[in-house]
Amino acid sequence: MTVEYVEKVYNFYSGVYDIVFGWVFQNGRVLAPELLQLSAGTELLEVGIGTGLCLPLMPRNINITGIDLSEGMLENARKRAAKLGLTNVKLHKMDATKMDLPDNSFDRVLAAYFISTVPDPVAVVEEMKRVCRPGGRLVFLNHFLSDNKAVAAVEKVISPLCYRVGFYTDLNLYKLMDRCGLEIERLERIDFLGHWKAVRCIVNK
C-alpha cells in the first residue's frame, strides 16, 4: 500500500465516511479527551484527522492542529469546524511520515483509527515522537493484532485483502512500540471483544 493509494482510497471514502464509520468508532473517540489529559492551552496534534469526528468532543480552550493526506476528508473537517464555530483549529494536508512541523511543538498527539491505514506505521510514530514535547502523551485508538492466536491467524490471512480497502488487520501493537522505543503507560479495550484498543504512551527524550 503506497501513500498515493491511501490518499486515493480515503478521498473516495470522504463522502460516506461519517455514515459508515462514525458510530462504529464513537466509543474510542469519547474516551480520547480523558486519555489525552487536556488542560487549558494544550497544543494538540491529531494525525489522520479525517473528517474531524473528534473535534466536537474536544474542549475549546486548547489549540488543535489536524493533518490528513486526503483533501476530501479535510474538506469535511473544515466544514465541521466551521459549523461548530471553532476558531482554535488549524487543518493542513500533510503526509504523516514526513510532517512539515517543528520538533517538540505539541503537548499531545492523537492518532485515532489511523495508524493501521499507513504504509509505514513506524515512520509515522517516529514523527509523532519528534513533534511531541518531552513528557507529552501519544494516544492511539486502533485495531491491533489479537492476542488470541486463532483470531490473530485469521487477521494475518485477511490483511492483504483488507489493505485494498485502506487498512491492515495484522499490526502488532507490541512490536510497533518496541521498534519505536515506546512503553505503554495505559492500555484499554474500546470494544467488548477487545479487538480495538486505546493506548497511551509518555514521550521520553
Q: Report the pLDDT value the prediction gives residue 161, as an integer from 0 to 100.
A: 66
What would the pLDDT profile of 137-149 be if each residue is shown by its tens digit? 999 999 898 888 8
CB count in 10 Å sphere of residue 91? 21
Q: How many whole angstroms from its chain centre is CA 47?
A: 5
Cell of 199: 493506548
For position 75, which CATH number holds?
A: 3.40.50.150
Residue 144 lies in domain: 3-202
* Confidence label for 124 from pLDDT (cuts 50, 70 and 90): very high
Instruction: Specify the pairing of strand 63-68 against strand 89-93.
Output: parallel
Q: What are phi and psi of 181, to 5 degrees?
A: 65, 35
What would the pLDDT profile of 107-116 be if each residue is shown by its tens digit? 999 999 999 8
Please tell me the distance from the alpha carbon of residue 186 to that of residue 198, in angstroms, as a whole number. 8
Q: Which residues, including other chains, have CB under 8 Å from residue 101's CB and lie 6 or more apart?
A: 45, 65, 67, 94, 131
Q: Residue 179 pLDDT more than 70?
A: yes
Based on the structure, what is the number of domains in the chain? 1
pTM of the prediction? Answer: 0.89
